Amino acid sequence: MPLRQIKAITLPDLTPAAISDPLPEIRWVHPNTLWIDEKYQRNLSERSITLIRRIVAEWDWAAFTPPKAAEVDGRLHVTDGQHTAIAAASHPTIELIPVLVASAAEEQHRAMDFVRHNRDRVQVTPTQLHLAMVAAGDPDAVTVAQVCDRAGVTILKAVPANGAFKEGQTMAVAALRKLVSHRYAIGARKVLDVCVAAKLVPISAEAIKAVELILYGEEYVGHVESDALVAAIRRMGPEAEKEAVVFAAAHKVQRWKALAIVWFRNTRKKRNG
């Protein structure tokens, strides 16, 4: 298993901040003793409730991140992690949670902490999440990974340097998951085989959906062979996407549907009988 040790990186053009605040401390507290400052914290939305419900239903200490708080007049004001705190308070068997308490006496300082926590957070990309789910053994993610592996498709964690994708590479995780869900492993493999044989760079979500439509869509199914579709895609090259953009704008259809139409029109059809 590949491991990467944490090491310092050289930052020659940066002056480190002077640290004057005391070290934060971990306190075990009942979540009902925590407070939210509504002057700068977000109110609970429908999405927030959905997130809290999921945290409660899937509670796992291994995935727990302690909320951050500041002590103000004897109360702990949460500056980051209110959803986790509310989920803990809503869970019937959780009595205490660890909270990282840092010095932030002034309201402006606490608000800035909230801004920093959200501004400086590196969002997990869908592909990174997919790869983590594969490592965790999620059955749907594992199926997607197996289909891609057998078809010669590589899911990248991030966009390559200068956007220089290679044949068989993709970041269209959502499209892949939907494809496998609709067509199962065998049907999805047929779609990806076309994409790989057509040497698409990268294999985009639009391309996946367009090929799926041509191979399985009610108005297209049975009219073209996979080899003929591959030949048409390779023959047209980037010109197909240009035509699809124009067609989509003119006929007010989604680009992937326009791409399917363009490719289908330029593919040799099967002979009847």
| pLDDT score recorded for residue 164 | 92
- Dump pLDDT digits (tens) for 176-234: 999 999 999 999 999 999 999 999 999 999 999 999 999 999 999 999 999 999 999 99
- Dump pLDDT digits (tens) for 122-172: 566 788 788 878 877 889 999 999 999 999 999 998 888 888 999 999 999
Residue 112 binned pLDDT confidence (cut-offs 50, 70, 90): low
Give the single-character DSSP code of 41: S
What is the chain's percent helix, strand, coil content, to nearest 5?
50, 10, 40
Residue 107 binned pLDDT confidence (cut-offs 50, 70, 90): low
Residue 110 binned pLDDT confidence (cut-offs 50, 70, 90): very low
The listed CATH number (3.40.50.2300, 3.40.50.20, 3.90.1530.10, 3.40.50.360) that belongs to domain 25-119: 3.90.1530.10
* Burial letters 231-244, b for 16+ CB under 10 A, else e: bbbeebeeebbebb
Are 148 and 155 in contact, with CB atoms under 8 Å apart? yes
Give this prediction's pTM. 0.66
Give the single-character DSSP code of 69: E
For residue 119, pLDDT over 70 is answered with: no
Q: Which of 78-92, 96-110, 203-217, 259-273 has the lowest mean pLDDT?
A: 96-110
* Burial letters 50-78, b for 16+ CB under 10 A, else e: ebbeebbeebeeeebebbbbbeeeeebbb
Identify the sign of the CA torsion 168, 169, 172, 173.
positive
List the chain domain ranges: 25-119, 126-265
| Distance from C-alpha of 26 to C-alpha of 18, rounded to nearest angstrom | 22
